[in-house]
Amino acid sequence: MVGSIKVNHGEWSTQNGNGNGNGNVNGLEEKLDELRRLLGKAAGDPLRIVGVGAGAWGSVFAALLQDSYGQFRDKVQIRIWRRPGKAVDRATAEHLFEVINSREDVLRRLIRRCAYLKYVEGRLGDRTLFADEILKDGFCLNMIDTPLCPLKVVTNLQEAVWDADIVVNGVPSTETREVFEEISQYWKERITTPIIISLAKGIEAALQPVPHIITPTQMINRATGVPMENILYLGGPNIASEIYNKEYANARICGAEKWRKPLANFLRQPHFIVWDNSDLITHEVMGGLKNVYAIGAGMIAALTNESATSKSVYFAHCTSEMIFITHLLAEEPEKLAGPLLADTYVTLLKGRNAWYGQMLAKGQISRDMGDSISGKGMIQGVSAVGAFYELLSQSSLSVLHPDQKKPVAPVELCPILKTLYKVLITREQSSQAILQALRDETLNDPRERIEIAQSHAFYRPSLLGQP
């Protein structure tokens, strides 16, 4: 078990910085000093923040901090870990070269760093570029069109995390347990307890001793022994590229009050509003659930040539299923309605899971390619479809069917989830099945599913490991 640290609680600065390099004028240094104080950092001992995993959200998160606080080099160190050896294919190298030459600021930066020539060679096929190499220059392999600031990249996991004060989990939920089990080996001699912020969206299903959900924060807790009060979840509604381009964006940090409020203020910027909430596990599960239905939204958009009616009808049905599932998971589901719908809406509009559904329905990618797609990264919704279906098909969770008047597994009231499972997991149906399900004349008005959820006692605390 990792040890604990003592912190002093005090007044928290309410000034917001905008990361434009004016330092203390915008309150950035005060916010950094306050977080250092809460963590008990001595003068001359920098606050060490490490991102683990360099997908789109993980890279943007590290770059956001670097842009804001990197100027205070004696007070904070920001770095990011990613696995070495991932080659950039020729087509991506060509695209990257086009992006570089379309941005004068990026072009000048690379020339100053004597790094431009290697991108010319990569474009010509005379050199193989690697993902960790280009990340140092500010290019995320899963988000080539959005150049970031240069980042301090570490490819040795032990070197990256052994003395970190704050670790940001940016690896997919399917890899979280494995990575943090390795990290725990490097923390055996630690005296202080790190803070962990998880960005992962996805769940695992466990059926013993009773059917329940395992989330990334729970995986981290079990792998490392870091107490849950030091583990937080940061979710949407947002799109990573929009955040870095300083378009208006939101996030929600969830966890114990001890750290979530200070961290919310540390992260908050004029263009990046950070809310905070105590309900960590439920929000984390909802973050995984919306990815499930985003895949179906992409399929509907592609199959109907972006029909506004079809997309709106799908939205009505998928949100009614999500509301029903929320009533199974949460004692006070009405508190989740706004965040859940907002996060769902942005993901359906512009997210990698919706993109995956579109490409699958158009035949431009196949299910045989798996759920890790070049240039996009891990499509978390695929594993989430399997996990939610597996859980909600358990007879021990049965609910009374309103028409049949007999107990049925909850998944029987979720026809879209059932169809996605048959398309993505068992592969017994094609993408066209989602459109057929949507237009099935026996499909009830989504209002009825919502009324059922609101009028019946469906809450199953055991699903989230509650007594």
Q: Do 100 and 200 share a domain, yes or no?
A: no
Is 290 labeled as catalytic in the residue annotation?
yes
Give CA–CA dist 223/228, Å, rounded.
Answer: 12
Last residue of a domain, one of 255, 278, 301: 278
What is the per-residue pLDDT for 457? 73
Q: Do 288 and 395 share a domain, yes or no?
A: yes
What is the per-residue pLDDT for 150? 96
Q: Do 252 and 348 share a domain, yes or no?
A: no
Q: Do 266 and 303 share a domain, yes or no?
A: no
163 in helix, strand or coil?
coil
DSSP string, 96-113: HHHHHHH-HHHHHHHHHT
What is the per-residue pLDDT for 345? 85
Q: Do 442 and 427 share a domain, yes or no?
A: yes
Last residue of a domain, one of 263, 278, 293: 278
Would 293 be classed as within a structural domain? yes
Nearest to 421 by CA among 296, 282, 287, 288: 296
Q: Of these residues, 31, 75, 201, 290, which one is catalytic?
A: 290
Q: Do 218 and 236 share a domain, yes or no?
A: yes
Give me the residue label for tokens 């990613």.
Answer: 82
Q: Cβ(47)–Cβ(75) under 8 Å?
A: yes
Q: Do 415 and 371 share a domain, yes or no?
A: yes
Give me the residue label for tokens 């770095």.
Answer: 79
Domain count, the chain: 3
Nearest to 214 by CA among 281, 132, 117, 269: 281
Two tokens at 390? 């597996």
Here the CATH number for the domain that contains residue 337 is: 1.10.1040.10
Q: Do 290 and 251 share a domain, yes or no?
A: no
Structural domain span for residue 454: 282-464
Two tokens at 83? 């696995």
Q: Do 68 and 116 share a domain, yes or no?
A: no
Would 51 be classed as within a structural domain? yes
Residue 248: CB partners within 8 Å, gap ≥ 6? 271, 273
Would 286 be classed as within a structural domain? yes
Q: Do 123 and 207 share a domain, yes or no?
A: no
Going residue by residue through the chain, which has 467 residues, state the pLDDT in tens, using 9 for 90 and above.
444 333 333 332 333 333 344 445 568 999 999 999 999 999 999 999 999 999 999 999 999 999 999 999 999 999 999 999 999 999 999 999 999 999 999 999 999 999 999 999 999 999 999 999 999 999 999 999 999 999 999 999 999 999 999 999 999 999 999 999 999 999 998 989 999 999 998 889 999 888 899 999 999 999 999 999 999 999 988 888 888 988 988 899 999 999 999 999 999 988 899 998 888 888 888 888 999 999 999 999 999 999 999 999 999 999 889 988 888 888 777 777 776 778 888 888 888 899 999 999 999 999 898 888 887 888 889 999 999 999 999 988 888 777 777 888 999 989 999 999 999 999 999 999 999 988 877 777 777 777 777 777 778 888 887 65
Q: Do 272 and 286 share a domain, yes or no?
A: no
Alpha-helix residue ranges (DSSP H) falling in 304-396: 308-329, 337-349, 352-362, 380-392
Two tokens at 459? 């809450």
Q: Do 96 and 232 share a domain, yes or no?
A: no
Here the CATH number for the domain that contains residue 235 is: 3.40.50.720
What is the per-residue pLDDT for 202? 86
Give CA–CA dist 336/354, Å, rounded.
Answer: 22
Residue 421: CB partners within 8 Å, gap ≥ 6? 385, 386, 389
Last residue of a domain, one of 239, 261, 278: 278
Would 13 be classed as within a structural domain? no
What is the per-residue pLDDT for 281? 86
Ramachandran category for residue 307: left, alpha or beta (phi over 0 → left; psi -120 to 50 → alpha): beta
